[in-house]
Structure 1
Amino acid sequence: MPRFSVFDRPVIQEKLQSEQYDLLVIGGGITGAGIALDAASRGLKTALVEKKDFAFGTSSRSTKLIHGGLRYLKQLEFGLVKEVGSERAIVHKLAPHLVIPEKMLLPLSEKRGLGYWLTSIGLKIYDYLAGVKPEDQRVMLTKKETLRYEPLLRSDDIKGGAIYAEYRTDDARLTIEIIKSAHQHGAHILNYTKVTDFIYNTEMIEGVVVKDEITNQSFEIKSKAVVNAAGPWVDLIREVNASKTGKRLHHTKGVHIVVPHTRFPIRQAIYFDVDDGRMIFAIPRGEITYIGTTDTDYYGDLDNVYTSREDAKYLIAGVNANFPKVQLQLSDIISSWAGLRPLIHEEGKSASQLSRKDEIFESHTGLISIAGGKLTGYRKMAERVVSLVIKKYFAEMHLKKSYTEKIKLPGAAFSNYKDVSSYLLKLKETLAPYNLPSLAAQTLVERYGTQTESIIARFVQNNTDNDSLLALIKSEVDFCIENEMVVNLTDFFVRRTGMLYFDINMLMKYKDAIANYMKEKLSWSDAFYEEQNQSLSYLVAQIKTW
């Protein structure tokens, strides 16, 4: 795998300044990453810049499911259900270690949601539209069977249930692997590079002015086509281009809270109704259970989205109403995250009524913007955008059709999920002599797939610490610095490992040691080192702002 390292930033910057690109993508979330991979793999000379870290916004703050959008059946968005449903199986094949089958329990209550038979019909339609394999198609349950699956459910309100198929993922890791794949296909990509202006030739865009957020250096990037895939910041880029007319974004906030699994020990993932007509996920993951999501209008700072006390109380109330034996409290929350959905505004519709369909806007200066859409549908969104770019600018080049459904992501050298399980068993044997947590091997495989071998080789060679877990984390840091453009402390703890969300205790135990290690590896100044510690401390405080 070609190196994609912070140490290569000067070389990449030089290329961005000196070369002429066919396509420049603004935004390093899942949508921008998918566009860069689709374009580069078809043969377009492609660049991508991101003002923060990759997956900084929505793409690290979702429910972390590659799902078929069951709730969109209620909105009669059959086309959206069909597209994202069929895409689930494709993304699973592209990264079976990262997109993991997850059976979801859907309890049916006496007083909320659809009736038993309407749900059965709806799930059958869902299976058909999503192309679910026969062995994974919905199974309807009696009340007794539902309570056997999950004894914590409120028994006096249950009339039955269903089991249906979903896929669990790590959204930020999926994004970074797509970024790395685009890099392997020749795209020039840089994080912490903010677009500040556009370059025009007779009113048409021919490039952008960017600012390196680390060095404060500004420079120009020339490109024949520019795509704005900045997620929640799409309209801000349109304002820079003076083209924010017609349709606009409507931001809605989605919040997730994290509690110890011992406080909410559900046996499997559950999707349940709450009193206001919405539905909430509760998903066990290792030693924690996370719960979400909310859906409220948002008008605040796009760079600083956090969980409020009201958000947390709403989710806790939903859990306690459906699982009365649990009785969660605000004090049980150990972490949280809040993200924005960049939806298309529709007059008269509430946050939860807005469509999740993506839309493309074209400005009079040639800027192509895309907003809306779902994590699951990133690949088809990218295909549509790149096909439009080719039609407008490169029709004479006779480029390849999109084939990203065949491009395995880094670390995905598996035929299927059974191969992942076999690989995991061998890794557990390798790590058995070391005093490591029981979930260490599984965590590594679900993050890195077969790339884990590189991390383990370094760990075995350099394990001179009295603390083997610290040595293993340092080996992860080395891998992420050399192969995943990690620039700072929060890149590693938030978006490469998800430790801030899923293992806050481990983060707190090792953050100082890792900060010192990264300072030495990356030759940080004392001032930058202090800034990094303060940034991480701020995020740790922010996850429990109440």
Structure 2
Amino acid sequence: MSINITAKRQATFRRFAEKPLDLLVIGGGIVGSGVARDAAMRGLRTGLVDRYDFAYGTSSRSSRLLHGGLRYLEQGRVGLVHESSVEKKIVHAIAPHLGQPLGFIFPVYKINGRPLWQMRIGVKMYDLLCNGRNFKPSRGYTKNETLGKLPQINTAGLRGSVRYYDALTSDARLTLDTLRSAVRSGALISNYTRFTDAKRENGAWSCEIEDTLTGEKLALRARAILNAAGPWSEKIPHSAVKLRLTKGIHIVVDRKRVSVAEGEAVTMVEGKRILFLIPWGERLIIGTTDTDYDAKPENVRVDLEDIDYVLHTVNTTFPSVNLGRDDIISSWSGLRPLIANRDGTPSDTSRAHQIKNPVEGWWDIAGGKLTTYRLMAEQAVSQIVRHLKFAAKPCRTAKEPLLPADEAAPYSGIIPPAYGEAAVRHYVENEWAVSLADVMMRRTSWHYYLPDMPARAAEVAGWMAAAAGWPPARLAAELADYAKEAAKTYPASLTPV
């Protein structure tokens, strides 16, 4: 890194020890970021660390949806659907650049699922659970109207369809912009910083953190600690979290391969699973799977079995498309850190969140959904404020915009920013990008969106080297590390287009 950027990072790291923190957050995914923003806005001296990059785990590998969860309504989880439906509208209001309303067309068939009249009632209930103010009203379509919307749809047994509304986001950008908002309110944040341990003494925690890039260690004091490490939560010292990790993969193909109306996505059913076909600029995101996962979270990868399952579902729903492995531009695999419950299939496991205070001054937060991150943060910070007897300001995260509009554009949005050196320099100088993968996968999503990635990666690495002051050896190492990360997103027999 350049001298200025290195010095800036080191200065931030050392500020953690200048005076005691009111709250130390472990984990820079969407939930930890939401907690840091809420706590800082209420006046707590707040610090956040993540041993990897921000949004490295689940928070850059989801379906990228803000949704109430129509499937959860069928499962009778009305409270969860209401919570999520209200929150999706709040996130859209505070971050309009990261909330694009989408109509989801759900085909209804004679041979499986519920009858069309029940589905029409169901989507009207879905609207009501959004306090009666969804993005647009739901409606039903006849068979002929459905064919007009989806001309390639499988017609065997087709009765019609329903349309309901949710929204598309960028999970990683939502995380990063939440962190930018937290920093504006005074939070200290540091990626590639590992929480090593803590000891409770004299009414506070004595903690040690380590900068994994330099090896520098630092002792600090914190009145409270919140563990929001997602799939890694169980492994954090003092954690009482018990998780059931489930894996979901997505593939990305050219939008022209499946004919979908502008501004509309498709909900597909395969057994107990619901999969989505989501327009994303010039691309389509298709997923997701839901299978148990027991290995290290950082090793999760896309397998050919996952790929073939998704392709089978698409080709069953759209037989004439005949989508194949060669059509895949990119793919990703992520983990859901669900509250442990080995009963039933992964799809049956609740997406509800849990906030626990197992020992004095320590909180674990786990489960939940991308959509409800703000509410989870509000509830957790409220508990911590009461425990600390802190004269906090009221929670304002549901009303105050995430960022001023001029700070969001042009480098934060649902569609990747324009490819170029100016964007790379922005992320290095203003958004804590340290590695090539930080820029390619999380700051921009270029890795998932653009063709010719090997050539582009070398060019982006050159731009980063200029912005961060990398020597030639560092540039070569970054390209090698990026190739290892990329290998997890492409099965061995698949290569980028």
**Taking structure 1 as the reference length, what is the TM-score of the superposition?**
0.85
Pairwise CA distance, 1:541 = 2.8
Greater percentage in helix:
1
Q: Aligned to 2:8, what secondary structure does the other structure show?
A: helix
Tell me the secondary structure at the aligned position of residue 129 of structure 2. helix
Q: How does 1:193-208 map to 2 (within 5 A)?
A: 193-201=193-201, 206-208=205-207
The Cα offsets for residues 479-535 of structure 1, whole Å up to 9 and x where unpaired, read as 111211111111100000011112243x33322122122112212233322221011
Structure number with the higher strand fraction is 2
Q: Which residue of 1 aligns with 2:403?
A: 410
Are 1:48 and 1:189, in contact at CA under 8 Å, matched by a contact in 2? yes
* C-alpha displacement of 1:186: 0.2
Q: Which moved more, 1:320-329 or 1:130-139?
A: 130-139
In structure 2, what is the equivalent of residue 497 of structure 1?
444
Q: Separation in 2 of the partners of 1:311 and 1:413?
A: 40
Aligned residue for 2:242? 248
Q: How does 1:253-272 map onto structure 2 within 5 Å? A: 253-267=247-261, 268-272=264-268
Shift of residue 127, structure 1, vs aligned partner: 0.6
Shift of 1:7: 5.2
Deviations 1:145-173 (CA, angstroms, capped at 9, x unpaired): 01101111101231011111111010000
Match of 2:464 in 1: 518
249-258 or 13-22, larger mean C-alpha shift: 13-22
Matches within 5 A, 1:220-369: 220-237=219-236, 240-241=237-238, 243-244=239-240, 248-267=242-261, 268-274=264-270, 276-369=271-364
Partner SS state of residue 155, structure 1: coil
1:486 aligns with 2:433: yes
Using the TM superposition, give the Cα deviation of residue 349 of structure 1 relative to its aligned residue in structure 2, in angstroms. Answer: 2.3
2:61 is the counterpart of 1:61? yes
Which range is displaced more, 135-144 or 384-393?
Answer: 135-144
Contact kept in structure 1, 2:329 and 2:449, CA below 8 Å: no
CA distance in 2: counterparts of 1:543 and 1:411, whole angstroms: 34
Q: 1:348 to 1:161 in 2, by over 3 A?
A: same
SS in 2 for 1:97: helix
**2:14–2:218 Cα contact (<8 Å) kept:** no
CA distance in 2, matches of 1:99, 1:38: 20
Q: Name the TM-score, length of structure 2 as normaliser.
A: 0.93
**Distance apart, 1:398 and its partner CA:** 2.5
Corresponding position of 2:421: 474
8 A contact 2:210–2:217 mirrored in 1: yes
CA distance in structure 1 between the partners assigned to 2:423 and 2:132 by the alignment: 36
Is the partner of 1:173 in helix, strand or coil? helix
Tell whether the 8 Å contact from 1:233 to 1:302 is kept in structure 2 after alignment: yes
Alpha-carbon distance change, 338 to 6 in structure 1, aligned in 2, over 3 angstroms: farther
- SS across alignment from 2:392: coil
Paired with 1:300 and 1:136, the residues of 2 have a C-alpha distance of 42
In 2: Cα distance, 1:17 partner to 1:502 partner:
40
Q: Cα offset for 1:137? A: 1.4
What are the Cα deviations for residues 107-161 of structure 1, in whole angstroms up to 9, with x where unaligned? 1111122211211111111110112437711111101001101111101231011
Summarize deviations over 1:210-229 as a string: whole Å, max 9, x none: 11111111112211000000
8 A contact 1:488–1:532 mirrored in 2:
yes
Contact 2:143 2:158 in 1 (8 A): yes
- Residues 388/444 of structure 1: CA separation in 2 closer, same or farther (3 Å cut): closer
Distance in 2, matches of 1:94 and 1:7, equals 33
Alignment of 1:179-190 (within 5 A): 179-190=179-190
Query: What's the offset of the Cα at 1:405?
Result: 1.1
Structure 2 stretches lacking a partner, 5+ long: 493-497
Shift in Å at residue 31 of structure 1?
A: 0.2
2:218 matched residue in structure 1: 219
